[in-house]
Amino acid sequence: MSEISNWFAGPKGENGDWFTESVRHIMHDYYAWRRNYFPEDGLVIDAESRRAGEAFRDRYDDKLFELLARLKADFPFQSPRYAAHMLAEQTLPSIAAYMAAMLYNPNNVAFEAAPVTVRLEIEAAQMIARMVGYGSDSWAHLTSGGTVANIQALWLARTVKYLPLVVEDMRKQLGLVHACTAFGASPDEAMQTFAKVFEEAPAKDAIAAYLESRHNVVERGFAHAFAKLGSEPFLLAPETQHYSIRKALDILGLGRQALVTVKVDSDFRMEVDDLREKLDKIDQRGDHVIAVVSIIGTTEEGAVDPLDKIVSLRAERKNSFWLHADGAYGGYFRTITLSDRLGLGDPTTIIKLNGEVKEIPMALPSKGMCDALEAMGACDSVTVDPHKLGYVPYPAGAICFKSNLVKPLARQDAPYFEEGVGGVEEERNAENVGVYILEGSKPGAAAAAVWLSHTLIPLDKTGHGLLIRDGIRNACELNALLEQYPKLAGESSNQAVALCAPGSNIVCFAFRASGKRSLKELNELNQRIYEKFSVADKSGKRVYDQAFFLSRTRLDPKRYSVETLARFLDRLGVNREEYETEGVFLLRSVLMNPWYGEAKRRGRYFLSELVTELYQTADELSSTPVKE
């Protein structure tokens, strides 16, 4: 048995008995805590009152029974038969910690509301910050998810961009020597010059000068600052960017038209040459860049942008823009590089088709993926979602900043929680959370879950990296099976065509039917295949009757250029004009489940079974006319 088998309940609840005892211990311990707090206070609910509650308990039992029954219609995320969305088992430590802390109902908005779990959040967030490559001067905290984390990163990127102008105003007002910091200064230089003002002037006076600066977008808004500057702001992100980036532009008042989309290659990684060209055009117009966003694990394809090359490009430009890595999905990929590279193993795998076990080749991601992951520590901010590849319960996102100098810039007053505002050094070292974040109330239980899980399962190649490596290999195995099945198992009238080789643990593909088929017909075929591998709300199918699960996505010409998809469209056998009219419907599989390898060792080859059923379904449906 592998070490991973001890971290989860198991697809059949194999670890359920001992974990049930653990849950029972949690409940006994909690109610003992209640009883032992001033025991001399005596009872409030006496035996007679408890007997009078029998009718309520009967109703409670009935409704709980109904709830438990209804929950049985949920998806079996724990099963290796589920290969659809970004969902899988949660680690047992995270479940136990969430349940334990939930009973105390701490609100991590401040120490006053959650004296224990705020400390756990700080410790857990620092574990994640170290994982992405940050040092002791970083700052990180938990959020409800990647959307809030991305918005907070861009919120602070916006503020830092205008700091050189703000600092210039502050120094003039305070009568200090001009610092000569250019508007295009690096984020680190901008924050350092801001901190220096507080070294040269009393904190109270420096704060007043900051608030009164004519370029302070926090206090005066964008319109006022732009009028003084005469330059338009832009944000650059690849075609694969998550929708939360556009949402952030809307919320921050930049507007969605401030987004400049950067091309991606046929493997859905940002084209650095196109990034360079678009940065040059912005400079030539006299406009400016708020931030560049790179993606570490795109949510549709699992692609990892060439972050190392983006970092090099930024260095050429004197680090003149904020660099944010959206690693909401793929941030945990970095565990395969800590403390050194784990490696993905041999480029072969064992499968079983028609009762015969075979070894077949598969394409593993290149070392360029690790080169990119190792560059994460050079970013100004990184989003990571523990509730995805961290395998902990919702809600649990995280935002990490390379420098804790962002904290005084983010501060929002909450006088009933905090003392008065201090200087920059005091703020950057403060061990509180609520006054520096977008959210207010948030569950301390999530912090406890992340803390215990990451404490027991190290964020390196000896722990979490094993899960990540297996997921990547499983995706590569599925991709190999899809492409090679007709040759391995006998002729088929269909051929699965992968969007691209897996860049991590996600596989996107579509079936190409024999004979000349229009893209519209292929989209209809793949839509019907998807319906066979899902339980739609109105389908009438029961989860217990569904043998395998897949998800789906759509490639929209408004988002992905024809150039990006040219190779895939050629392999799919459709022309580019059809794509611009129809888009492409894709089947999608996320290989997060930790049990494929363990099942193989016991003679079950679930991925081989999935691909066999996919091809059988495709053959059946492609020969069946669509009902009008």
d(CA 171, CA 210): 9
Rounded average pLDDT over 602-619: 97
Q: How confident is the model at residue 36 (pLDDT cuts 50, 70, 90)?
A: very high
What is the pLDDT at residue 415?
44
DSSP code string of 329-378: TTGGGGGGGSSS------SEEEEEETTEEEEEE-PPPPTHHHHHHTTGGG
Residues 518 and 574 sit within 8 Å (Cβ to Cβ): yes
Rounded average pLDDT over 459-463: 97
Burial of residue 70 (number of CB atoms within 10 Å: 0-12, 13-18, 19+): exposed
pLDDT at 177 over 90: no
Rounded average pLDDT over 332-343: 97
Q: Which two tokens stand for residue 432?
A: 């509180």
Q: With b meaning 16 or more CB within 10 Å and e meaning fewer, what string describes 455-489? A: eebbbbbebbbbbbbbbbbbbbbbbbbbbbbeebb
pLDDT at 414 over 90: no
What distances in angstroms separate CA 219 from CA 223, 225, 436, one per listed residue? 11, 10, 16
Instruction: Beginning with the edge strand found earlier in the chain, give each strand of the sheet holding 139-143 in spatial order.
Output: 139-143, 397-401, 381-384, 322-327, 288-295, 233-238, 259-262
DSSP class of 178: P
Q: Structural domains in the chain?
A: 466-622 (3.90.1150.10)
d(CA 122, CA 118): 6
What is the pLDDT at residue 416?
40
The pLDDT tens digits of the residues spanning 266-291 come to 999 999 999 999 999 999 999 999 99
| Residue 386: half-sphere exposure toward Cβ, Cα within 13 Å | 36
| Angle (deg, nearest 10), helices 203-212 and 163-174 | 120
Q: Is 399 helix (H, G, I), strand (E, B) or coil?
A: strand
Average model confidence (pLDDT) across the chain: 94
Q: Give the position of tokens 């305070």.
A: 174
The pLDDT tens digits of the residues spanning 110-151 come to 888 999 999 999 999 999 999 999 999 999 999 999 999 999
pLDDT at 453 over 70: yes
DSSP class of 42: -
Q: How far is CA 275 from the centre of its chain?
A: 23
| Closest by Cα among 389, 427, 128, 441 to 120 | 128
What is the pLDDT at residue 539?
65
d(CA 588, CA 553): 7
Q: Which two tokens stand for residue 487?
A: 């040759």
Q: With b meaning 16 or more CB within 10 Å and e meaning fewer, what string describes 440-454? A: eebbbbbbbbbbbbb
Q: Is 281 helix (H, G, I), strand (E, B) or coil?
A: helix
Q: How confident is the model at residue 627 (pLDDT cuts 50, 70, 90)?
A: low
Q: How confident is the model at residue 427 (pLDDT cuts 50, 70, 90)?
A: confident
DSSP class of 626: P
User: According to the 3-state scheme, what is the secondary structure of 169-208?
Assistant: HHHHHHCCCCCCCCCCCCHHHHHHHHHHHHHHCCHHHHHH
| Residue 427: half-sphere exposure toward Cβ, Cα within 13 Å | 23
d(CA 402, CA 424): 16
What is the pLDDT at residue 624?
75
Model-level pTM?
A: 0.96
What is the pLDDT at residue 419?
54
Q: Which two tokens stand for residue 628?
A: 């009008």
d(CA 4, CA 1): 8
Neighbours of 347 (CB within 10 A): 12
Residues 337 and 459 sit within 8 Å (Cβ to Cβ): no
Rounded average pLDDT over 485-499: 93
What is the pLDDT at residue 269?
98
Rounded average pLDDT over 534-547: 82
Q: How confident is the model at residue 432 (pLDDT cuts 50, 70, 90)?
A: confident
**Partners of 104 in beta bridges:** none
